[in-house]
Chains A and B, each alone.
Chain A
Amino acid sequence: MTRILGEPILSVDNISLAFGGVKALANVSFHVREHEILAIIGPNGAGKSSMLNVINGVYRPQVGEIRFRDRAWKRMVPYEAARLGIARTFQNIALFKGMSVLDNIMTGRNLKMRSGLIRQALYWGPNLREEIEHREKVEHIIDFLQIEHVRKTPVGRLPYGLQKRVELARALAAEPTLLLLDEPMAGMNVEEKQDMSRFVLDVNEEFGTTIVLIEHDMGVVMDISDRVVVLDYGRKIGDGTPDEIRANPEVIAAYLGVAH
Chain B
Amino acid sequence: MLYREAGQFKSSYAEDQALFPIRQDRYGMLVLLAIAFVGVPLFASDYWLTAILVPFLVFSLAALGLNILTGYAGQLSLGTAAFMAVGAFAAYNFELRVPGLPVLVSFVLAGLVAALVGIAFGLPSLRIRGFYLAVATLAAQFFIPWLLVKVSWFSNYSASGVITTQPIEILGFVFDSPTRKYLLVLAIVCVLALAAKNLVRSSIGRAWMAVRDMDVAAEVIGIRIVRAKLIAFAVSSFYCGIAGALYAYAYLGSVEPDGFNLDLSFRILFMIIIGGVGSILGSFLGAAFITVLPIFLDVLLTDGAHLFNLSLPAGVTSMAQLVVFGGLIIFFLIVEPHGLARLWQIAKEKLRLWPFPH
Contact = CB atoms under 8 A, between A and B. Distances in A.
A96 B222 contact: no
Interface in A109-168: 110-111, 113, 115, 117, 120-123, 127-128, 131-132, 135-136, 139
Contacts of B212: 96, 98
A132 B231 CA distance: 24
A83 B13 contact: no
Given A56-B220, A94-B214, A110 B203 contact: yes
Interface stretch (B194-202, B241-249, B259-267): B194-202
A81 B219 CA distance: 10
Contact of B206 (A58, A81, A99, A117): A99
B224 interface: yes
B217 A108 contact: no
A122 B201 CA distance: 11
Contacts of B209: 96, 98-99, 103, 107
Given A94-B217, A107-B221, A131 B206 contact: no
B17 interface: yes
A120 B13 contact: no
A110 B198 contact: no
B5 interface: no
Interface in B269-290: 278
A94 B199 contact: no
B216 interface: yes
Contacts of A110: 203, 206-207, 210, 221-223
A30 B150 CA distance: 64
Given A58-B216, A79-B223, A113 B14 contact: no
Interface in A73-101: 78-79, 81-83, 87-88, 90, 94-99
A135 B13 contact: yes
Interface string A28-44: 00000000000000000
Interface in B217-245: 217-224, 231, 235
Contacts of B207: 107, 110
Nearest to A77: B219
Contact-residue size bin, chain A (C-beta under 8 Å from the other chain) = 35 or more
B213 A115 contact: no
A139 B198 contact: no
B199 to A, nearest CB: 5
B201 A123 contact: yes
Contact of B210 (A83, A107, A113, A122): A107
B204 interface: yes
Interface in B319-334: none
Contact of A123 (B13, B198, B206, B224): B198
Contacts of A98: 209, 212-213, 278
Contact of B17 (A96, A132, A170, A171): A132
A125 B341 CA distance: 30
Q: Which of B13, B199, B203, B216 neighbours the largest number of chain A CB atoms within 10 Å of its CB?
A: B203
Contacts of B219: 58, 78-79
A88 B222 CA distance: 11
Interface string B312-349: 00000000000000000000000000000000000000
Nearest to B226: A79
A97 B218 CA distance: 12
A106 interface: yes
Consensus secondary structure, chain B interface:
helix
A214 B13 CA distance: 36
Which one of B209, B213, B218 has the greatest number of beta carbons of chain A within 10 Å? Answer: B213
B200 to A, nearest CB: 9
B170 to A, nearest CB: 22
A113 B203 contact: yes
Contacts of A171: 221
A96 B220 contact: no
A174 interface: yes
A225 B33 CA distance: 60
Contacts of B278: 98
Contacts of A94: 214, 216-217
Given A121-B198, A123-B198, A135-B13, A174 B217 contact: no
Contacts of B220: 56, 58, 78, 81-82, 87-88
A126 to B, nearest CB: 12
A214 to B, nearest CB: 15
A241 to B, nearest CB: 30
Contacts of B196: 121
A46 B196 CA distance: 47
B295 to A, nearest CB: 34
A253 B247 CA distance: 74
B221 A87 contact: yes
Contacts of B218: 96, 107
Given A106-B203, A113-B203, 4 more contacts: A79-B223, A98-B213, A120-B198, A121-B195
7 tightest CB-CB pairs across the interface, nearest first? A82-B222, A123-B198, A94-B217, A120-B202, A111-B222, A96-B213, A121-B195
Interface of A: 56, 58, 78-79, 81-83, 87-88, 90, 94-99, 103, 106-108, 110-111, 113, 115, 117, 120-123, 127-128, 131-132, 135-136, 139, 170-171, 174
12 contacts: A58-B219, A78-B220, A79-B223, A82-B221, A82-B222, A98-B212, A99-B206, A106-B203, A117-B235, A120-B202, A122-B195, A123-B201
